[in-house]
């Protein structure tokens, strides 16, 4: 299968490219320089020229805090850009797999969110990603929407790398302990995405590492797995105020994965161990 990956230079995109190749597919990666998703004519031209059978649309505006003031750009990329990709996919009959986020929920739940629970984003980022979901599902007849959370991988910056860098300073650390979610290793997520686009089981999916934890518990696990002795203390979200509100609880239930016959992603701690084996000891990307 020929698969086009947008945002191929990003943290997730690079692993999707690798997993596509491992699965025997022809992965064609494009980044911003090669495809401006905000330009509808460019999207149509590129897809008509390359004729992919499926598109994994991972390109996005992901600066969560900056989006609170850069509203138009967040919507231009996450909403209009996704609309353009959906329209281009529909023109050539390609499957469109849109990567979304736990931020489409308000975080007030006490149990994992289902795929068809009411979305009520509180941040501009979450609202713009939900707009992208709605445009993809209304403009393309062969669509997958995959919501994920707390993503980390070898490529790019992420929470795990930040914690390892901070641990190296030897200073005491405080990490938020009142936000709960599910860390997701990009390789595990990429394997699911590639399996998904091989099928015609369209719809909304939640794909995250199994189980859940707080950011503080995640940090503690990182240090335990690395064998690091770090003075670590829990704190509240209020002690580290940010422009964009974070969901206090954003655990995503995986009913669609199970009912459609797919295998759930490994537990988040298994994903962390696999990631740390791949990450160089100095914490840098490959």
Please tell me which residue in 75, 103, 113, 125 is annotated as part of the active site: 125
Residue 285 above 50 pLDDT?
Answer: no
Burial 192-213 (b: 16+ CB within 10 A, else e): bbbebbeeebbebbbbbbbebb
Indicate the average pLDDT of the chain: 96
What pTM value is reported for the model? 0.96
pLDDT of 217 strictly over 50: yes
**Residue 87 host element (H or E):** helix 81-92
Note if 185 is an active site residue: no
Residue with tokens 């509808």: 40
In the predicted model, is pLDDT for residue 286 greater than 80? no
Which domains does the chain possess? 2-157+183-212+250-267 (3.40.50.720)
pLDDT, tens only, 126-177: 999 999 999 999 999 999 999 999 999 999 999 999 999 999 999 999 999 9
Separation CA 174–CA 240 (nearest Å):
10
Q: Which residues contact 218 (CB under 8 A, 6 or more apart)?
A: 150, 159, 175, 183, 268, 272
Q: Is the distance from CB of 135 to CB of 86 less than 8 angstroms?
A: yes
Establish how many alpha carbons lie within 13 A of residue 194's alpha carbon, considering only the half-sphere containing its beta carbon: 24
């Amino acid at each position: 299968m020929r698969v086009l990956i947008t945002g191929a230079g990003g943290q997730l995109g690079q692993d999707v490219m690798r997993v596509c190749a491992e699965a025997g597919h022809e992965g064609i990666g494009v980044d911003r320089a090669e495809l401006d998703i905000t330009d509808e004519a460019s999207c149509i031209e590129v897809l008509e020229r390359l004729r992919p059978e499926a598109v994994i649309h991972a390109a996005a505006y992901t600066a969560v805090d900056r989006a609170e003031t850069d509203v138009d750009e967040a919507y231009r990329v996450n909403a209009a850009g996704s609309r353009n990709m959906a329209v281009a996919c529909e023109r050539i009959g390609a499957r469109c797999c849109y990567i979304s986020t736990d931020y489409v929920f308000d975080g007030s739940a006490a149990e994992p969110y289902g795929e068809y629970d009411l979305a009520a984003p509180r941040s501009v980022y979450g609202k713009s990603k939900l707009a992208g979901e709605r445009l993809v599902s209304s403009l393309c007849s062969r669509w997958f929407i995959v919501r994920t959370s707390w993503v980390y991988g070898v490529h790019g910056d992420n929470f795990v790398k930040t914690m390892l860098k901070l641990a190296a300073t030897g200073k005491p650390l405080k990490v938020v302990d009142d936000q709960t979610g599910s860390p997701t290793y990009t390789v595990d997520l990429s394997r699911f995405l590639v399996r998904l686009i091989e099928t015609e089981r369209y719809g909304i999916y939640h794909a995250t590492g199994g189980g859940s934890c707080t950011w503080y518990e995640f940090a503690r696990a990182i240090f335990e797995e690395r064998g690091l002795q770090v003075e670590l203390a829990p704190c509240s979200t209020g002690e580290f105020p940010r422009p964009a509100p974070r969901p206090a609880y954003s655990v995503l239930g995986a009913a669609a994965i199970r009912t459609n016959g797919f295998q759930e992603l490994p537990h988040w701690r298994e994903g962390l161990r696999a990631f740390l084996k791949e990450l160089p000891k100095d914490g840098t990307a490959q």
